[in-house]
Structure formats: structure tokens, C-alpha cells
Amino acid sequence: MTKPDTDLIIAGGGLAGATLALALARMVPSLRVTVVEAFPLSPDALPESYQPSYDARSTALAWGSRLIFEELGLWQRLAEHATPIEHIHVSDRGHFGATRLHAAEHGQAALGYVADNRWMGLCLMRELLDTNVQWRAPAEVTDMTPIPGGVRVQLSEEGEETAELTARCLVVADGGRSGLRERLGFRPDRHSYGQNALIANVSTSDSHGFTAFERFTDAGPMALLPHGSPTRAGHQSALVWTLSDEVLQQVLALPDDEKCRWLQDRFGWRLGRFTRIGTCHHYPLTLTTVDEPVRPGVALVGNAAHALHPVAGQGFNLALRGLMTLVEQFRLAEEQGRSIGDIEVLKRYQALHREDWQQTVRFSDSLVRLFGHSMLPVAAARDAGLVGLDLLPGAKRWFARKAMGLGGRRAMIERPGNLNREAPANE
């Protein structure tokens, strides 16, 4: 191929695609990167209308993700509106089991942080303004053809096939809903949980005390994440509640004061009285994984590669670790004079990230299955498990490391400069 139009095309400028673009601008500045995004995003504005990544959700960022954002020079800005999680409380409604994690026990300021997706989008866009990353938006990647030394990518703008771009490599970060992955021949494994995540901001009469609550209820698992000022423990939490289709419709039909009562009955009084519930949004939940997320000249990242149940707040944290593994392989390829679309380069990314995504999927999925069960023996085993976690320091440390996103250790350690960057684990 003569000189391609760009070195790398990223299909999708959501959380995964935009973070990848920023990481490449910082760590492999020799690469020319073009982001193609279906929504009218630009580095200096986010649309007011719904955008699949930068919407009303909040994301629980693990401690490990903070370390990555620090490395990208993004953390200082992000931290302005990121609420620390100093404690995690896991409990089961109507049963005695509970476990508690405290940041101080792990020698850290926080176990993780909660940031609004919209705020993360604004921070990413502002940082990208000062880079040489190119944006095409609104535009969609509709197809790709392999060509010698790279790929030819078809774009469509306002529904019209408009342009072709050549590149050494295409990274698919479209979230998996646009069908691009399937059009390129990837075969995802899909399992529908038959459940939805209902999200809303809620106010409570007691302060959250920087505690994230995971509670397993007869209606489904719920998370209440501390939200609001990063310095003053306030009275607002972000609710993520997993509900069946039927129960979701029942809850949505209730007036707000009854929604609060419903919530109160199932969550209890650890946060005092629920005084307000904001606008509710909901998302159908599936587990989607792609066993082989690479082809010559193409790699999948983020939700396009693996979309998880949000109960353990792991999806984006896992994506972030995968992105950094890919960036490191691109950096090495550049250093060694190899093409970034070379299948050996991409297979190395696949091999290094594999154990992490498989373990994280197992961790999230087993929580859903274990805590989705109301059968007595399973409930008893689960409660024994929660008590056991609380009493056994080894088990609790394992759980805490998962929650803090300190999996994927091999991938992290292989990155230069990261040797001493893991949180002290007191092991």
C-alpha cells in the first residue's frame, strides 16, 4: 500500500474509542489516528440529545482505572467531579450475611470513584482538543475490505456512502450494537439475562458517607453509589437496579413517591429515608463476548469485544485495561518497525488480555447467578459466603482486589513505568 490516509481508524468515539484515541496520542504520538463517530460529537462539544456512551449513567471507576487515567494525564480533571468510594457494603435483603470493605484496610484513600458518564465525556473531549487526533462525526463505519498492508474502510454520512479511508488498522469500538462487528465476520457469544438495569439518581435523608452499597433483593441486585461532591459526603446516590421486564414495567408505572417506597422496602434504612428519585432510564442486559477479537488489520475493544452485566461495575474498567494492553502492543510495533495491523501484533494483544477478560466475565456472571437465586439452599450458601468473606482476610482481599480493578496484573506490569504503580496491597 502507498502511504495510507491515516494509520489507525477507530470506529466509535464513545468511552472506549475516545480513551483509546487519547492514550495513543499520549503514548504513541507517531501514529496518525482518525476517530469516526456516529453521533455529532466533536472535541469541543457533547450533544444534548441521547448519546450511547455519554448519557445519564454514572460509572464506578476502580482504583486501577484511576492509575490508568493518571498515566494519561486525565485524572486531575476527572477528579474534580469524581466521588470517592471509601467503603463497600454488600448485603442480602432478608438474610443475615453481609461483607464490608474499607479503603483504609487496604492502605488507600479510596477503593474506587464514581463519575458521571457525561463528565467523563467532557473531560476526554477537552483533552483530545490538544492532540492531533482527527474526528469524523457524525459518520459511520459501514464496512471494511482488507488490502495489502492494511484496510480500506467505507464511511457513511447522513445515510449516504460518502468516503473511503485507507489505514494500517481498524479498531472497532462501536459498542457492539451497530452490527459492524458481525459485518466484519466476528461471531459473538450472546447470553440475554432477561433483565434490565434501571438507573436514576436518588436523594436520601442520611449521608452516604462515601459508601457504595451492593444489595441483593427479591426483585434483583441493586447498587447505590455515592454521588455528588468529592469532598463532602452528601445525600445523593446513583442507583443501578437490575429488574426483570415485568417488574421494570411495574416500577416505571409508579409515581415517584411510590417508587421511593418500593426502593425503601427493598433497600432498607441504611441511608435513612429515600426522599426523591430522578428521571429513570433503563438498559437491557446481555453478556456478550468474542473469543477471538482480532483479524488481520482489525481489533475489537470495549463493549464490542465484551459487554458485561453491570452488577459488579466492571465493564468499562475491564475495557480500559484492554485498551492499555493494545496501546502497548502498538507502541512496541512502532518501535520495531512493524505494521500495527500485523496479525502477530494484534494476537499478542489478544493473548495478554484474555485471562483478564475471562476472569472478569466469570466474576461478574457468577455474582449475577449466585445473587439472582431465591432458592433456600443457594440463599443460605450465599449468606454463608458473605459472612465468610467478611471474616476471612484472604477471601476479602481477593474480593477487594477484584472490586479495585487490580486484575489484569500481567498486562499492567508489562507496561513500562507501571512496575511500581499498583496500589499497596498489604499482602
Ligand X SMILES: Cc1cc2nc3c(=O)[nH]c(=O)nc-3n(C[C@H](O)[C@H](O)[C@H](O)COP(=O)(O)OP(=O)(O)OC[C@H]3O[C@@H](n4cnc5c(N)ncnc54)[C@H](O)[C@@H]3O)c2cc1C
> What is the binding site for ligand X (CB under 6 A)?
11-17, 36-39, 52-53, 57, 59-60, 140-141, 173-175, 178, 180, 197, 199, 240, 283, 302-303, 310, 313-317, 319
What angle is formed at CA 5 by the lines to CA 4 and CA 6, rounded to 5 degrees?
Answer: 90
Q: Is-contact 316 53, C-beta < 8 A? A: no
Whole-number Å distance between alpha carbons of 154 and 393: 54
Q: Nearer to ligand X by C-beta: 282 or 373?
A: 282
Q: Nearer to ligand X by C-beta: 60 or 352?
A: 60
Q: Nearer to ligand X by C-beta: 310 or 379?
A: 310
Q: How many CB atoms lie within 10 A of CB 152?
A: 18
The DSSP output letter for 103 is G
Q: Nearer to ligand X by C-beta: 173 or 386?
A: 173
Q: Nearer to ligand X by C-beta: 293 or 383?
A: 293
Shortest reach from residue 357's CB to ligand X, in Å: 12
Shortest reach from residue 338's CB to ligand X, in Å: 26
Q: Nearer to ligand X by C-beta: 28 or 212?
A: 212
Shortest reach from residue 408's CB to ligand X, in Å: 13
| Cell triple for 269 | 434504612
Instruction: Determine the straight-line distance between the first and last CA of the chain, rounded to whole angstroms.
Output: 52
263: enclosing H helix or E strand: helix 256-267
The DSSP output letter for 114 is E
252: enclosing H helix or E strand: helix 245-253
| Cell triple for 228 | 455528588
Shortest reach from residue 162's CB to ligand X, in Å: 13
Shortest reach from residue 351's CB to ligand X, in Å: 21
Shortest reach from residue 131's CB to ligand X, in Å: 18
Whole-number Å distance between alpha carbons of 315 and 30: 29
Environment class of 137 (CB within 10 Å of its CB; exposed 0-12, middle 13-18, buried 19+): middle
Q: Nearer to ligand X by C-beta: 22 or 36?
A: 36
The DSSP output letter for 274 is E
SS3 of residue 226 by DSSP? strand
Whole-number Å distance between alpha carbons of 242 and 47: 28
Shortest reach from residue 52's CB to ligand X, in Å: 4
| Cell triple for 392 | 476471612
Q: Is-contact 149 102, C-beta < 8 A? A: no
Peptide bond into 138 cis (omega under 30): yes
Shortest reach from residue 155's CB to ligand X, in Å: 8
| Cell triple for 318 | 475491564
SS3 of residue 235 by DSSP? coil
Q: Nearer to ligand X by C-beta: 60 or 247?
A: 60
